[in-house]
């Protein structure tokens, strides 16, 4: 079963909000969808495929977001990412996703964490391309929607990078996001965009460039220098969740005051979304701190504010700092 996706193809130059564990949950994605509809696509963080048994369907729906799952336009715009290994019950999960009507499945082939890789998941799937091939083939046979994958350039090294791109092409993956680092690089070195360019040259399916897009100029640079089809942004989109809006409106200049206003608007919506879920005060504080991690980057003299935010003991302390920016 190849390329059976009922979804229209992803337009050139699309901007994709990257999957981020612990960040891109339902409340966060609702905030993004409401305030910044300029993002062309979003992603769930990964849902780990169980290595025994099966999740209740409700658990899968909750991962995407029970409310968001009611809207086809949201489902069509959001990649549902899974993290699996050759030992996990992948086909059961894929069948469940099909039965729940999620049209876009993304396979995580990049997660570097030790807990994940020692169980044969995430980036460690790049260590054994034969096993990877049979896993992807099997998924393709059971998934009728748009199948995509997100990879690093290798595990220890990049020797099999091109083979991994060819393999994904051969087995019916319809778009590939390349994060230009090996697993061993973690985040220690700058992302190597030359591998994105390499992938573009050999892939018949669109390549999405990812890694170290921090500002508006980086988006154009990524498209031009690598020839990629679309751009995925993770930490740069945490720094400025409005980056797609600024890019599309051509707003390349902003004062610190404008940035503070945007931060306030973001957090006022985000807090409301979290409160709708009846989150505890501790939960609200924890989530808000995680999401604020990069938001003050680049603003002059903001170090003290950042420190105060991170040292807040209660959500109301945190939010009074935000309101007084
Ligand atoms: C907090 C955090 C959580 C992440 N979680 C995921 C994830 O669930 N799935 C995934 O494919 N990548 C995940 N990533 C990797 C990013 O999607 C992205 O590939 C990487 O950060 C490089 O892009 P950037 O330079 O734009 O941040 C995560 C990154 C961060 C910082």
Which pLDDT band holds residue 84 (cuts at 50, 70, 90)?
very high
285-321 tens-digit pLDDT: 999 999 999 999 989 889 999 999 999 999 999 999 9
241-283 tens-digit pLDDT: 999 999 999 988 889 999 999 999 999 999 999 999 999 999 9
Whose C-alpha lies nearest to ligand 1, atom 29? Answer: 20
pLDDT of residue 253: 87
- pTM above 0.85? yes
Q: Catalytic site residue 228?
A: no
Look up residue 47 and give its two tokens. Answer: 């849902």
Ligand 1 pocket test target in 15, 17, 18 with most atoms within 8 Å of CB: 18
Question: What does the alpha-carbon distance between residue 180 and residue 208 come to, in Å, rounded to a whole number?
Answer: 11
Look up residue 73 and give its two tokens. Answer: 């336009």
Look up residue 83 and give its two tokens. Answer: 């993290």
29-47 tens-digit pLDDT: 999 999 999 999 999 999 9
Indicate if ligand 1 lies below 6 Å from the C-beta of 112. no
Indicate if ligand 1 lies below 6 Å from the C-beta of 210. yes
pLDDT of residue 254: 87
90-107 tens-digit pLDDT: 999 999 999 999 999 999
Question: What does the alpha-carbon distance between residue 157 and residue 159 come to, in Å, rounded to a whole number?
Answer: 6
Question: What does the alpha-carbon distance between residue 238 and residue 262 come to, in Å, rounded to a whole number?
Answer: 12
- In angstroms, the first-to-last Cα distance of the chain is 54
In terms of Cβ atoms closer than 10 Å to its own Cβ (0-12, 13-18, 19+), residue 130 is exposed
pLDDT of residue 1: 40
Question: What does the alpha-carbon distance between residue 302 and residue 240 come to, in Å, rounded to a whole number?
Answer: 15
Interval between CA 324 and ligand 1 midpoint (Å)? 30
Indicate if ligand 1 lies below 6 Å from the C-beta of 266. no
Question: At 244, phi and psi to the nearest 5?
Answer: -70, -35
Question: What does the alpha-carbon distance between residue 21 and residue 7 come to, in Å, rounded to a whole number?
Answer: 25
Ligand 1 pocket test target in 104, 234, 243 with most atoms within 8 Å of CB: 234
Q: Taking the alpha carbons of 79, 6, 123, 39 in that order, is the dihedral positive or negative?
A: negative
pLDDT of residue 207: 98
Question: What does the alpha-carbon distance between residue 320 and residue 65 come to, in Å, rounded to a whole number?
Answer: 29
Indicate if ligand 1 lies below 6 Å from the C-beta of 21. yes
Look up residue 220 and give its two tokens. Answer: 């154009």
Question: What does the alpha-carbon distance between residue 205 and residue 199 come to, in Å, rounded to a whole number?
Answer: 10
Query: What's the average model confidence in pLDDT over 180-208?
Result: 97
Indicate if ligand 1 lies below 6 Å from the C-beta of 23. yes
Indicate if ligand 1 lies below 6 Å from the C-beta of 81. yes
Reduce the secondary structure of the chain to three states and give it as a string: CCCCCCCCCCCCCEEEECCCCCCCCHHHHHHHHHHCCCCCEEECCCEECCCCCCCCHHHHHHHHCCCHHHCHHHHHHEEEEEECCCCCCHHHHHHHHHHCCCCEEEEEECCCCHHHHCCCCHHHHHHCHHHHHHHHHHHHHHCCCEEEEEEECCCCCCCCHHHHHHHHHHCCCCEEEEECCCCCCCCCCCCCHHHHHHHHHHCCCCEEEECCCCCHHHHHHHHHHHCCCEEEECHHHHHCCCHHHHHHHCCCCCCHHHHHHHHHHHHHHHHHHHHHCCCCHHHHHHHHHHHHCCCCCCCCCCHHHHHHHHHCCCHHHHHHHHHCC
Ligand 1 pocket test target in 15, 16, 20 with most atoms within 8 Å of CB: 20
Reduce the secondary structure of 7-50 to three states and give it as a string: CCCCCCCEEEECCCCCCCCHHHHHHHHHHCCCCCEEECCCEECC
Nearest to 287 by CA among 18, 29, 12: 29
Query: Cβ neighbours of residue 183 under 8 Å, at least 6 residues apart?
Result: 110, 112, 117, 122, 123, 124, 126, 152, 154, 155, 156
Q: Which of 10, 68, 111, 237 is catalytic?
A: 111
239-250 tens-digit pLDDT: 999 999 999 999
Indicate if ligand 1 lies below 6 Å from the C-beta of 237. no
Whose C-alpha lies nearest to ligand 1, atom 23? Answer: 211
Of ligand 1's atoms, which has the minimum distance to the CA of residue 210? 23
Query: What's the average model confidence in pLDDT over 111-125?
Result: 95
């Amino acid at each position: 079963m190849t390329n059976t996706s009922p979804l229209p193809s992803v337009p050139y130059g699309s901007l994709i909000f990257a999957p981020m564990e612990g960040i891109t949950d339902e409340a966060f994605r609702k905030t993004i969808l409401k305030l910044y509809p300029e993002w062309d696509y979003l992603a769930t963080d990964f849902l780990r495929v169980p290595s025994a048994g099966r999740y209740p369907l409700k658990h899968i729906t909750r991962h995407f977001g029970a409310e968001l799952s009611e809207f086809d336009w949201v489902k069509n715009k959001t990649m549902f990412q899974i993290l699996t290994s050759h030992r996990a019950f992948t086909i059961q999960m894929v069948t469940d996703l099909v039965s729940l009507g999620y049209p876009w499945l993304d396979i995580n082939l990049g997660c570097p964490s030790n807990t994940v890789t020692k169980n044969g998941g995430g980036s460690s799937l790049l260590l054994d391309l034969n096993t990877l091939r049979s896993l992807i083939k099997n998924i393709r046979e059971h998934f009728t929607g748009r199948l995509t994958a997100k990879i690093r350039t290798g595990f220890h090294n990049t020797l099999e990078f091109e083979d991994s791109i060819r393999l994904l092409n051969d087995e019916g993956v319809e778009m590939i996001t390349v994060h230009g680092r090996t697993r061993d690089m973690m985040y220690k070195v700058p992302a190597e965009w030359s591998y994105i360019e390499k992938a573009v040259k050999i892939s018949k399916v669109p390549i999405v460039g990812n890694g170290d897009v921090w500002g508006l100029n980086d988006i154009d640079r990524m498209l031009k220098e690598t020839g990629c089809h679309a751009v995925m942004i993770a930490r740069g989109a945490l720094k400025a969740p409005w980056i797609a809006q600024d890019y599309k409106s051509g707003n390349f200049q902003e004062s610190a005051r404008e940035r503070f206003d945007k931060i306030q608007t973001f957090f006022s919506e985000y807090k409301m979304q979290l409160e709708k879920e009846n989150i505890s005060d501790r939960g609200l504080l924890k989530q808000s701190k995680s999401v604020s991690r990069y938001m003050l980057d680049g603003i002059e003299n903001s170090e003290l504010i950042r420190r105060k935010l991170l040292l807040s003991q209660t959500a109301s302390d945190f939010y009074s700092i935000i309101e007084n920016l």
